[in-house]
Amino acid sequence: MKNLSRLTLALLAAASSLAFAAGSADGVSVVDPYVRMVPPGAKATAAFMVLKNAGDKDARLVKAESGAAKVVELHNHINEGGVMKMRQVQAIDIKAKGEAALQPGGYHVMLINPTAPLKEGDKVALTLGFADGSSKNVEAVVKKPEAAPAPAAMDHGHHHKH
């Protein structure tokens, strides 16, 4: 019984240190993460998701990492004289009790030079890093573009797509 209680104490200690380290990642949940399927040999694709912040403090996504691509960047689309262009961004803010949508035509996680072909249904592991140093692991499923939700496309055509 002595060993058991020691184990329990160790688990409790581990659990509390995890909770302490969680920070922004603790309050942020990730809804419907997916990666757009692209033809084999394509030089880039993107991951999309909705980040919901249940916490009392604003959260700031500052990086994404993945073994699925050589370079992983946070991007946004901006309308420059009627032309949609992609730009790398330093951060994506998620307001307290709010959400940030990473969707086609807007913010996305850019996956440049995929390390292996991505097939429909594959799971891509992403690690989201927040400004306070906390991080969150996400599994994004690879979807064909037509099967993937495209909220921008439903918005009466005001938004331009890629």
Contact residues: Cu ion, CB under 5 A: 75, 86, 110
Q: Which of 113, 137, 144, 115 is nearest to 34 (CA)?
A: 144
Calculate ∠ Cα 61-96-141, nearest 5°: 45
Whichever of 68 and 110 has its CB closer to Cu ion, that residue is 110
Q: What tokens does 35 get?
A: 């990666």
Beta strands 135-143 and 28-36 are parallel
Tell me how far the alpha carbon of residue 110 is from its chain's centroid.
10
Least distance from Cu ion to the Cβ atom of residue 86, Å: 4
Whichever of 38 and 110 has its CB closer to Cu ion, that residue is 110
Closest residue to Cu ion using C-beta atoms: 75
Least distance from Cu ion to the Cβ atom of residue 161, Å: 13
Whichever of 14 and 71 has its CB closer to Cu ion, that residue is 71
| Cα separation, 64 vs 74, whole angstroms | 7
Least distance from Cu ion to the Cβ atom of residue 2, Å: 56
Q: What tokens does 32 get?
A: 């419907």
Whichever of 6 and 85 has its CB closer to Cu ion, that residue is 85
Least distance from Cu ion to the Cβ atom of residue 99, Å: 20
